Amino acid sequence: MKILANDGISQSGQKALEAEGFEVITTNVAQEQLINYINENTIAVLLVRSATKARKELIDACPSIKIIGRGGVGMDNIDVDYAKSKGIHVINTPASSSLSVAELVFAHLFSGVRFLHHSNRNMPLDGDTKFNNLKKAYAKGIELRGKTLGIIGLGRIGQEVAKIGIGLGMKVIGTDKFIEKTTVKMEFFNGHSFDVTLESQPFEEVLKQSDFITLHVPAQKEYVIGEKEFEMMKDGVGIINAARGGVIDEVALDNALTSGKVAFAGLDTFENEPTPAIKILMNDKISLTPHIGAATNEAQDRIGTELASQIVSIMKS
């Protein structure tokens, strides 16, 4: 039985599948050639990340497909309900990459409060001739400890973000349409642990109270953060989006950065991937990464082995 991991799979995941007798193909097939490739090779399982799309057209044209798997959380690149209506199993790995995404959120936060995204651009240009000028320019950093972190979306990733924020001594508040209350377990290297309960607060209150805001919600039909929401925020707020492109109105964000309403932003996802707006890419108040929230060795190992476990369970049942 053949599995096409079109956007790749970790070695650990591939080995686990091959040990169960599956043939794993890691060739990256272009989207426009994917239907033909699946049919010519009688692919039973299609594994994707965010690049490959599994839409109705592909589902209808590829009767050999039994499982579509997404290595990650969001499945907006798959027509999930339609696939299920055709008897296809649709699986993902919602827990495997949560910690990696949460750590990237804080990479962007630390970059923003200490101007790392800006100084890393300017030190190679002027560090040898204007060192003291740059030192003065970046001398007004702030600490995260004691500040209020607002989390929009208290799912798995939002909870991991909360844990790190609490560990740093931040006041953590959150809002979620579907979760009224959640408990996060703070675990330490020496085996000690304690629980912290987070209650969902009104969306508007989180916007008003937070020094920093991070989004952890799926793709939406409308913007979650637009001009109106920026107006509710504190002056000088920092905002991070490592969720999905399109949850923040990037035109409104650019305006808010220009006016100083937003002090800095950290973006891992963009409205127009894989060709983000040049105006956003060139804004030196934005810390930028190319949608790499889940791209750690550890997360990819967990994703690969979790996908393998689910596939084996389905196909061997």
Which residues belong to the active site? 244, 273, 291
Asked whether 1 and 44 are in contact (CB, 8 A), the reply is: yes
Interacting residues of 314 by C-beta distance below 8 A, sequence separation 6+: 66, 67, 89, 91
Distance (Å, whole) CA 214 – CA 237? 11
Please give the Cα distance from 221 to 159 (Å, whole number).
Answer: 24
Cα–Cα dist 263/107, whole Å: 16
**Which ranges of the chain does DSSP label H, i.e. alpha helix?**
11-19, 34-41, 56-61, 80-85, 98-113, 116-126, 131-137, 156-167, 203-209, 227-232, 250-259, 278-281, 297-316
